[in-house]
Structure 1
């Protein structure tokens, strides 16, 4: 997926603001499943562990099989239309963002037309669908990892202690991360074949960040052509190999400026710059502040 700058900014902003709260978590198992048409004010994440389930979401109909994940979204009408055999469907109702009225909002079982004005005001925005592009039904290769987070979340919900909010947020965030990565795997199936190779080149960059690394050398490590390596690297890490190295160098520089007594000249040399002038120029361009000003911030000078 090629994102515009605005779309990428919206995505980053949302990822920083995610603060999920679980409204209900239930390890539901049933030989019969009846759910009349309704809308939700929040999200429901359902994992089909066993059985076969037919659902309708707005005008679309799906036959769910084990491993399928459904994200019922705020305001989208849905219903269960059929079930084959016993269905195991652990699920969780949650808000993706923090809302002060979290505890006031119930799980809804009515259609939109039957909701009062006050109830309609509880409707959350669908940020996961609109900004993260999460579909209603997900068939992703890492679905079992999602299930491994969902089960302990349900157990923790059933035994809620005072510190449950910390655990439920961490598990929900991990599940959202796994969903995003699973969808990315589906979209970039070719890059999956080269995951280890790409990771190896990043390790090489980290271990040799103070040296001049040729693109051709990295592509040989990955056993890919320069063109395909560059494309797949940027697809996975969001930046070019050269930019990745420059960013890593500057992070190392900041670490040395904060925790060592080295001079700027020594730091510049240590991280691979030909001169302190070249280092200072690159640092200010990336960070918006000169290295000496950065050092003063942490030294108290």
Structure 2
């Protein structure tokens, strides 16, 4: 696993293209020297990343990094159309035209020797974005962004590289939003975790109760709390507190309620606890935040 902070991202698109595959066309097994997203815009086929096999269809986005062995094989009757973008996560704009190294290799024979393929952006928590082998992003706007990136790369003008950096960052933000939003392809249990997340948002004005986790899910409180933390990168109680902070911001921005009244509305134990919690999360005192929001 690799991890990079959001504020250290300076992505560079090194190469971008559209590939219309012939029936049964295959590339790989191979490795590359940088990173790549491949999006299936049409057709179907099979993909192998290291020793992991996937059926691929419209809307699937694949990712792999350097030295990760990958193979794409188009279906005979319904071959792929693929959008491919080679990139680096952090580099100078002058590196855009750096030559790309593509190496034909042999498949790995055992799963024990397979490389892990996971990129993580941001610290653990709600800002974290995990990018693995495959995710379906159909209907998210990511396909359109990839097309824009390809057009900019082909344009090869003075501003293309900086434009593609902006487009690529936008793509990552869309991908983050998508991975933190429930999707039809999710398992019933993951959908249940999203239901719990929504209920925590809707109960922000109430005191937190661990019993909710069992009442809402039917699972043991400790087990569901662990699963929630694993899915969203934050424990349920902490997520509930963040919803209280969000509600507090709304009240400070759009009402003239006193700080004491807002603490009472949020079912917090004291105004002192509220002020300490708010400052820890925002770096502002409640009144300092209200003053800042009323400036232009």
TM-score bracket, normalised by the shorter chain, equals 0.5 to 0.7
Structure 2: runs of 5+ lacking an equivalent:
106-114, 122-129
Counterpart of 2:262 in structure 1 is: 267
Distance 2:172 2:282 in 1: 32
Distance 1:237 1:35 in 2: 36
1:95-244 paired onto structure 2 within 5 Å: 95-100=87-92, 101-109=94-102, 129=118, 131=120, 134-135=131-132, 137-138=133-134, 143=136, 145-146=137-138, 149=141, 151-157=143-149, 159-160=151-152, 165=164, 166-175=166-175, 178=178, 189=187, 191-195=189-193, 197-206=195-204, 209=205, 211-217=206-212, 219-220=214-215, 222-227=216-221, 228-244=223-239
Structure 1: runs of 5+ lacking an equivalent:
1-6, 113-125
- Backbone CA RMSD of aligned residues: 4.5
Q: Helix, strand or coil: the match of 2:239?
A: helix
Which of 30, 36, 44 in structure 1 is aligned with 2:22? 30
Matched, 1:85 2:85: no
Which of 251, 268, 271 in structure 2 is aligned with 1:276? 271
Q: Helix, strand or coil: the match of 1:85?
A: coil
Counterpart of 1:248 in structure 2 is: 243
Counterpart of 2:33 in structure 1 is: 41
Number of residue pairs matched by the alignment: 262
Which structure's residues are more often helix, by fraction?
A: 1
Q: Helix, strand or coil: the match of 2:33?
A: coil
Distance 1:262 1:251 in 2: 15
Distance 1:253 1:70 in 2: 40
Which of 16, 22, 43 in structure 2 is aligned with 1:50? 43
Which structure's residues are more often strand, by fraction?
A: 2
Q: How many Å apart are 1:223 and its aligned residue?
A: 3.9
Q: Given that residues 53 and 84 in structure 1 are in contact (C-alpha distance below 8 angstroms), is that contact kept between their aligned partners in structure 2? A: yes
Counterpart of 1:120 in structure 2 is: none
Q: Given that residues 283 and 289 in structure 1 are in contact (C-alpha distance below 8 angstroms), is that contact kept between their aligned partners in structure 2? A: yes
TM-score by length of 1: 0.62
TM-score by length of 2: 0.63
